[in-house]
Chains A and B, each alone.
Chain A
Amino acid sequence: MEVSLIINGKKLQVSVEPDEMLLTTLRGQGYFSTRRGCDTLNCGLCTVWLDGKTILSCSYPTYRAAGHEVTTLEGLADEAALLADCLAAEGADQCGYCTTGMMMSAMALRRQNPNPTDEEIKDFLVGNLCRCTGYESHLRGIRRYLEEVEA
């Protein structure tokens, strides 16, 4: 079926299977920041925004995204680069495979709550699993990022 999508502000006509999930469509279009880590909605690697709110693209049918604003990390280039740099400064990137999904959650959190407490950060990001870092460096990196955005 033909679906009209708006990805990172760009209008796009794509041909998809009726049961195709947004993750598959996005990766097919070269948006590699979003990835599959599980089959059970547990890992958060596929996190993107739909109209500014985080969704798990692995389980969001592409046709339902028609007419909505889909945002991936690639569409937030400057802000994502700043957050990436803050995370890297704390060694929080590690393998990086889950990090881009976590970054989508962290950038969404800042829009909702520019001055979150540590507990609020952890609560908001709880659906983003990471096996490398032990999470503490995420917190340090996000704190650094929030301070830099503030400045």
Chain B
Amino acid sequence: MSEALKARQHVGKSYKKVDAATILSGRAAYTEDFVPPHALVIKVLRSPHPMAKILDINATAALKLPGVEAVFTYKDVPKTRFTLAGQSYPEPSAYDSLILDQYVRYVGDAVALIVAKDEATALQAMKVVRVTYDVMEPVLDMRTALDHPTVIHPEDDLHYNMPVGGDPKRNLACSYSRVVGDIEGELAKCDYVVEDTYFDQATLQTAMETFRTFCTLDQFGRLVCTSSTQIPFHVRRHIARALEIPATKVRVIKPRIGGGFGSKQTACTELYAAFVTWTLKKPAVLIYDRHEANNCSTSRHAREWKIRLGATKDGIIQVIDMVAISDAGAYGTHAFTTFTAGEHKSVPLYNKGKAVRYESNIVYTNHMAGGAFRGYGATEALWPLECAVTKLAKKMGVDEIELRLKNLINVGERSQVYAPDEVLESGLLKEAIAKAKTMARWDERPHSWQIDETHRGGLGVALAFQGSGVANVDTASVEIKLQDDGYYTLYTGSTDMGTGANTILMQMACEVLGCPIDHMTCYEADTDVVPFDPGSYASSTTYVTGTAAKLAAEDLRAKLLKTFAMYLEVAEEDIDFDGVTARTKDGQKSMTTQELAPKLMVSFGHEAQQLVGFATWGSHTSPPPFMVGIAEVSVDTETGQVTPLDYYAVVDCGTVVNPKLAKVQAEGGIVQGIGMALTEEINYSSTGRLETNNLMRYKIPTRLDMGTLHVDFVESHEPTGAFGVKSIGEVVINTSCPAIQGAILNACGAELTTLPMISEKVFQALMAKE
């Protein structure tokens, strides 16, 4: 493989992102920068109650204010239910939403859309809209949701595309259970059993650019929706369904976006703006402030896990038993799939045992809906699993890494929860662990030590899988054109969120064509122009869209060779082509793409034919990238304050296409995970209001809260992916919480079971120990 790597021209090279100069210049690049000057401003009137039925909305006074264009309520919108979840059709998320509904289901749910000439007028109008509610008893604890007297979705037209174990009349959004083997019987045979309850909070993705959309009508009267989204094609489909218009009437464009992390895999603002523009036939813009972004979007799903692990004295983990209750919140966006994805990305780490159970009721509550957040269920499932493996190692008196190595899946093996024909096809798991141990000097030093009079240090470890795309679902198409000037344009529907997706797709395509990278441009995420792509989520872009890009480039290269052969009047195999110049092997004749392209655009001589490479690709499998994280922390034993000191990480994402961008992905994921582990607290008031709804209260890490990161890679070769790639975007958030939990445990004996591990909880755990 190293020989092949050496021969590569672009894959494995740290190119700067193609959009770098623009996005760092202050020139227009993001949604808000392109809003037309006279766009109407939309503001959303929101419910102060967690659960209520709207009896009356009186907008008479608001409509009398100069500059107020319209006030829309549930009476004005189409009655077709849909899901806001960005998933390929048929979505496994319940169709339980309307643009505006007579029921409001969390504090912040939409009641009315106020449309005015400017923001100040809209806000003034909002104050004089009178709403009469029938306030109902809310469901504010997921543990009491099932069969609660209040039914959160009483409507009869709630619809599922497929069975997902839901029963809305019982507040059950969906449910999942897989049992392999005899759990109780095998546990009885185990020499060591550990059991605990772990909780993960509904963390917020917190992209720096909040949700925003503006809509216009084009010269044909079609709706053009420009939005900060990860999922342009899914948004187009959602808009068409919700407005009851054909999708051909809708165009969705994504400019550069200020982060996503899954939050923009759900359509938060698009349908409101689309409805207003389509109804009034005028441009309109909706921009969420930070309070709305935190309070009225979607979060990670809160889950309470009861986990049991059983091991025999030979060190084999025989039983993995994970039973959760999960908080879907008010709507079922991503509720089923985040839970099931979590199984496939956690349990397979340890495949030597005899019994597995993975199960949850996912219940509706009157909290903000859960959705997609980097890690998509795996982060949540690996938190209890990896904490419990550490607990088991402690109970058995063995090294935490040794126990993991003994139970680790090997390449070529099946997991109990894999599909019948599925095996782990690649992965340098043991090599990654060995490298991380060396970096952290795991074998050379104690894992618990006194730093000074009041501080103790500790090391903790966690392993993680993720996937690369959704197997059998995610399917990307890529088109590459030879333009009339002899340069190439790559068209993709994947959405670069700042990760460098456009850049690495070009690296992969140029690797095949052979041309320098500046002979290609990339055009992305415009549903009128680019071929279908589900969007950027599920760690799919490099693996799924990247493989489609490689195949499209191969298609175009074959066509180029054939055409050059015709013009140079030799056989194809007698041509050397470097992506720019085709030379006959005898050195007698040559022609460049710049010379060829204009000939293809006129019908003089040969038949005119613009050359286009095209490919559609999806995978039968979702190969897991792998990560080892070792956290080193200091704990103040007088206050419980945890300070991250160093984080050692080794990632196997298959072939690394762009080392610097991959490294920053890893660093960003680790720090987002550190936030989840230590600072990002979610608090609801007793009346169901989210209190951690701004950046003062919801504390994402600053650059002083993370210690020093040490990231390295091992590169396995995934046989199903172009150039051996897997994925990097999500796996990197998964180790922070359990590794830090283990480090705190080693440092001072405080055993934390709920996130975030803030100082009060650590201090209480220390007190409980004494």
Min C-beta distance of A115 to chain B, whole Å: 19
Min C-beta distance of B561 to chain A, whole Å: 35
Q: Mark B1-31, 1 if CB is under 8 A from A, else 0.
A: 0000000000000101101110111111110
Min C-beta distance of B631 to chain A, whole Å: 14
Q: Which A57-84 residues sit within 8 Å CB-CB of chain B?
A: 72-74, 77, 80-81, 83-84
Task: Say whether B209 contacts A37, CB under 8 Å.
Answer: yes
Task: Say whether B700 contacts A38, CB under 8 Å.
Answer: no
Complexed CA–CA distance, A126 and B701 (Å): 10
Q: Which B35-84 residues sit within 8 Å CB-CB of chain A?
A: none
B residues within 8 A CB of A132?
208, 259, 498-499, 664, 668
Return the contact of A72 from the options B24, B26, B661, B704 (Cβ within 8 A).
B26
Complexed CA–CA distance, A45 and B210 (Å): 12
Q: A129 an interface residue at 8 Å Cβ cutoff?
A: yes
Complexed CA–CA distance, A18 and B658 (Å): 49
Q: B747 an interface residue at 8 Å Cβ cutoff?
A: no
Q: B696 an interface residue at 8 Å Cβ cutoff?
A: yes
Min C-beta distance of A121 to chain B, whole Å: 9
Contact-residue bracket for chain B? 35 or more
Q: Mark A80-118, 1 if CB is under 8 A from B, else 0.
A: 110111011111111111111001000000000000000
Given A38-B290, A95-B258, A136-B667, answer yes or no on A131-B24 (Cβ-Cβ < 8 Å): no
Nearest A residue (CB) for B120: A17
Task: Say whether B703 contacts A39, CB under 8 Å.
Answer: no
Nearest A residue (CB) for B669: A134
Return the contact of A134 from the options B17, B205, B668, B704 (Cβ within 8 A).
B668
Task: Say whether A43 contacts B256, CB under 8 Å.
Answer: no
Q: B671 an interface residue at 8 Å Cβ cutoff?
A: yes
Min C-beta distance of A24 to chain B, whole Å: 10
Return the contact of A95 from the options B259, B660, B703 (Cβ within 8 A).
B259
Nearest A residue (CB) for B694: A40
Nearest A residue (CB) for B27: A32
A residues within 8 A CB of B658?
91
Task: Say whether B500 contacts A130, CB under 8 Å.
Answer: no
Task: Say whether B23 contacts A93, CB under 8 Å.
Answer: yes
Complexed CA–CA distance, A130 and B664 (Å): 12
Task: Say whether A39 contacts B289, CB under 8 Å.
Answer: yes
B residues within 8 A CB of A138?
703
Task: Say whether B703 contacts A125, CB under 8 Å.
Answer: yes
Min C-beta distance of B661 to chain A, whole Å: 5
Complexed CA–CA distance, A123 and B703 (Å): 8
Task: Say whether A84 contacts B33, CB under 8 Å.
Answer: no
Return the contact of A131 from the options B26, B30, B261, B664 (Cβ within 8 A).
B261
Task: Say whether B25 contacts A33, CB under 8 Å.
Answer: yes
A residues within 8 A CB of B317?
none
Task: Say whether B209 contacts A97, CB under 8 Å.
Answer: yes
Nearest A residue (CB) for B668: A134
Q: Which A134-151 residues sit within 8 Å CB-CB of chain B?
A: 134-139
B residues within 8 A CB of A100?
24, 26
B residues within 8 A CB of A126?
702-704
Given A80-B25, A125-B703, A126-B704, answer yes or no on A131-B20 (Cβ-Cβ < 8 Å): no
Return the contact of B25 from the options A84, A97, A122, A125 (Cβ within 8 A).
A84
Given A37-B209, A134-B669, answer yes or no on A129-B700 (Cβ-Cβ < 8 Å): yes
**B residues at A contact (CB < 8 Å):** 14, 16-17, 19-21, 23-30, 32-33, 120, 205-210, 256-259, 261, 289-291, 497-500, 658, 660-661, 663-664, 666-672, 694-696, 700, 702-704, 706, 708-709
Sorted from nearest, which 8 A-B pairs have the closest CB atoms?
Answer: A95-B498, A33-B26, A97-B258, A96-B23, A134-B667, A88-B20, A84-B24, A134-B671
